[in-house]
Structure 1
Amino acid sequence: MPCLRHLKLLALWLLRAIGLFRLGRWLTRDGLMILGWHGVSQEDEHTRFSSLYISPETFQRRLAYLQKHFQIIDLDEALKQSRDGKFKPHQLVLTFDDGYFNFYSHAAPILKQYQMPATVYLVSGHMENQQPFYPLFVRDVVALSSVETCPLFFQDDQAEASLTTKTSKKQFLRKTLDHVESLPWEGDSKLQFCQELAKVLKVDGDELLEKRFWHSMNREEAKELAEQGFLLQVHTHRHRNVVDHAEEVEEEAKTCRELLEAATGKPARHFCYPTGKWQQSAWTDLRRAGMQTAVTTMLGPNFPQTSPLCWRRQLDGEDRTQLEFEFELSNLRWLFHALLHPSRWYQPSEKLTTYKLQPLKY
């Protein structure tokens, strides 16, 4: 572990030891907290995608901590409290993005052990076509491959790409992902390309597909979860963000809502901004599509004065230690930012591009 990371963890340990984590939670006790994950590993996905995935063991540690310090509610209850003008102390909502099969197979059973409700935001197109989320499938194939060179078989010149360094792998991955993105959503062209890529990189792509690491749950699984009390909610039909695809917001949200409601028999009125990008100009279209709440990836608590269409949310993954996880939920970092920028106390900043280009997270 790098020296700076050691120093950071030491500083956090000291803050917790002198009671500042507890103080931060108390100061923000009347703000609604929303916590999000992408998936709970079926096997070892968290070792390759540590910012997105979490191991079942770490997930259980997180829930044990939350059970001790928060009251876990669902989004319907959170919306009711928001409309009533006051959140009860220490309220927290659990969410999962994309609707991966692993929520059905691994996360839901653990949540039921703790008797905790959760919301799953599904991409209805993947639920319907049962093809994998290609960006993650491609990343996994490249990560698992041990070959040193690969022909760019999808380009006219079919030049050889080196895969011997992190930089060269990243360049190859960028070209590959750009090509996948250029292929039509409809049909099997994306799937065929990914199967060919796995073959060239000498990775068992069929095994990845069979294990459904990167697949959405299907309609029957979504219905079963809804019957168990989980909320299955809207993440658009094709995972289109509302900034780069502003003209499609209403249709994407409406299509997803209708397909989810047909599959589950339950209302779908909660929205999650794909890729975390959001802007207030999308609210009119979201309301027309029937959305009543929407979660961002901006950090911090939410208050009755915060619009439910831009609720803040903390994302978690295996890359965070338990100490860092507890620090984020203390809201100390957010409190410091909010004191310096009072205008952001209730309303988070819009996110119009990637975190690399727009590092502000509040």
Structure 2
Amino acid sequence: MKQALLSTARGVGLFALARKASASKLRILCYHGLWTTPGFQYGNRLFMPPEQFDARMTRLRRSGYPVLGLDMAVAALAAGTLPDNAVVITIDDGWASTHTHMLPTLEALGLPSTVYVASWYVGRDLPVINKAIDYLHARTGRDPAGVPDRIAAIDALPPEARADAMRALSVEFGVPLDWWETRQFHEMTPAEVGDCARRGMDVQLHTHRHRAAADLLAGELEENRVRLAEWTGLPPGHFRHFCYPSGEYEAAAEPVLAASGVLSATLTDQGTNAPGANPFRLRRFLDGRTVTDAEFDAYLSGALDVVDAAAARMRRR
């Protein structure tokens, strides 16, 4: 139904009309990592194939939409001086594929981007445990109800024992260790984070341990900022943009962010951002493997909100 609505909307000129009507709004694209392991595909909105990311960024580059760095865009949004239909590219978490695959594509196309790095896993030869265990269950068709207990069991081990435990679990499940060899669930190394910054990718805050409860946030930001400054060689004051881990927003976080010198914070909620929007509640478009080019174009044009509302009304009938 949605694809039919998008086709109709484009055909009757809604995309073009929406582009003009929403020209003053900021569009923010959201990505995570790329799926570099052969075979089974996991994580629709978490990982997409490298060739799909390449095609998407090429499509954006050819679209004529101006792509800005996050810091410039946030300042222009507040001042009401954005160029028409401005777009920002953001990448969450700091997965290894950000450096190995996404950065070269963005460099080749001359597109600025921001990566929000959660720092605890950086520098540890460990996969992100909860995602890797969920993947092993999904790949083998096992009951996902067992995931929390296995996560808790491995999290209870000292960090130096977790790598062996994860490899042993993969062997127990009969899953080849190709996902370990491709660093599918690993984050970047400190050297890779630093290389991203040197090559022009903006590195920003995502907490240290990927948790954003308001009572922990000040400490998480400080530790995150110290690590990022160490790895990039940039002053701590450079790190002044934030992404809520897993999109978990609390109103109580806003004064903590402001007191910590943070200027903006992004959600995973879909939408565009009008001049004067709350800079601590910036909406984005979460791209993914099953997102079509038509949906992508509809978001950039500003028409997707109209189409989504129409689709919801039709479902209620």
AA aligned opposite 1:143 = A
Indicate if the aligned counterparts of 2:123 and 2:188 stay in contact, CA closer than 8 A: no
Matched with 2:264 is: 293
| Larger relative contact order (CA 8 Å, sep ≥ 6) | 2
What does residue 73 of structure 1 align with? 68
The one of 32, 37, 47 equivalent to 1:53 is: 47
Residue 277 of structure 1: CA displacement?
A: 0.9
> Matches of 1:187 and 1:270 in 2, distance apart?
29
Structure 1 residues 69 and 334 mapped into 2: Cα distance closer, same or farther (>3 Å)? same
What is residue 263 of structure 1 aligned with on the other side? 231
Q: Map Cα deviations across residues 48-71 of structure 1 (whole Å, 9 max, x no partner).
A: 222221222221222232221411
1:35 aligns to what SS in structure 2?
strand
Which residues of 2 match residues 4-23 of structure 1 at below 5 A? 7-23=1-17
Secondary structure of 1:42's counterpart equals: coil
Residue matched to 1:37: 31
Residue range with higher mean Cα deviation, 121-130 or 274-283: 121-130
SS of 2:120 mapped into structure 1: helix
Closer, same or farther in 2 for the Cα pair 1:80/1:46, shift >3 Å?
farther
1:38-187 equivalences in 2 (<5 Å):
38-44=32-38, 47-67=41-61, 68-145=63-140, 163=142, 169-180=143-154, 183=156, 187=159
User: Deviation string for 1:187-246 (max 9, x for gaps)?
Assistant: 2354343233212212234x4323211111111111111111110111110000x3xx22
Task: Tell me if the contact between 2:65 and 2:85 (Cα under 8 Å) persists in the aligned partners.
Answer: yes
Shift of 1:335: 5.0
Is residue 172 of structure 2 the alignment partner of residue 200 of structure 1? yes
Aligned residue number for residue 248 of structure 1 = 216
Following TM superposition, the consecutive aligned residue runs of length 4 or more in structure 1 with deviations greater than 4 angstroms are 178-181, 335-338
* Root-mean-square deviation over aligned CA pairs: 2.3
Question: 1:323 maps to what in 2?
Answer: 294
**C-alpha distance in 1 between matches for 2:130 and 2:160:** 15
The code of the aligned residue for 1:51 comes to: R
CA shift in 2, pair 1:252/1:228, >3 Å: same
More displaced 10-residue stretch of structure 1: 48-57 or 327-336: 327-336
- Cα 1:176–1:45 change in 2 (3 A) is farther
Partner of 1:283: 254
Q: Counterpart of 2:106 in structure 1: which amino acid?
A: L
Instruction: Report the Cα distance in structure 1 between the residues aligned to 2:153 and 2:24, rounded to whole angstroms.
Output: 47
The aligned residue for residue 314 of structure 2 is none
* 1:54–1:318 Cα contact (<8 Å) kept: yes
After alignment, is 190-199 or 113-122 more displaced?
Answer: 190-199
> Once structures 1 and 2 are overlaid, which stretch shifts more, 324-333 or 288-297?
324-333
Q: C-alpha distance in 2, partners of 1:141/1:208?
A: 10
Change (3 A) 1:17 1:121: same
Distance verdict in 2 for CA 1:172–1:115, change over 3 Å: same
- Quote how far apart the aligned CAs of 1:174 are: 4.2
Q: Choose the corresponding residue for 1:25, options 16, 19, 26.
A: 19
Cα–Cα, structure 1 residues 336 and 322, in superposed 2: closer, same or farther, change >3 Å?
closer
Contact kept in structure 2, 1:122 and 1:232, CA below 8 Å? yes
Contact 1:277 1:296 in 2 (8 A): yes
Q: Shift of residue 14 of structure 1?
A: 1.4
Q: TM-score, normalised by structure 1?
A: 0.78
TM-fit CA distance, 1:299 = 1.6
SS of equivalent residue, structure 1 residue 308: coil
Task: Note closer, same or farther for the CA distance 1:44–1:325 as it changes in structure 2 (3 Å cut).
Answer: farther
Q: Could you tell me which residue of structure 2 aligns to residue 228 of structure 1? A: 199
Deviations 1:292-338 (A, max 9, x none): 11101122111231121111111101111112222233333435889
Separation (CA, whole Å) in 2 of partners of 1:283 and 1:219: 29
Counterpart of 1:236, as a letter, is T
For structure 1, the residue ranges without an aligned partner over 5 or more in a row are 1-6, 147-162, 164-168, 339-362
**Percent of aligned positions that are identical:** 29
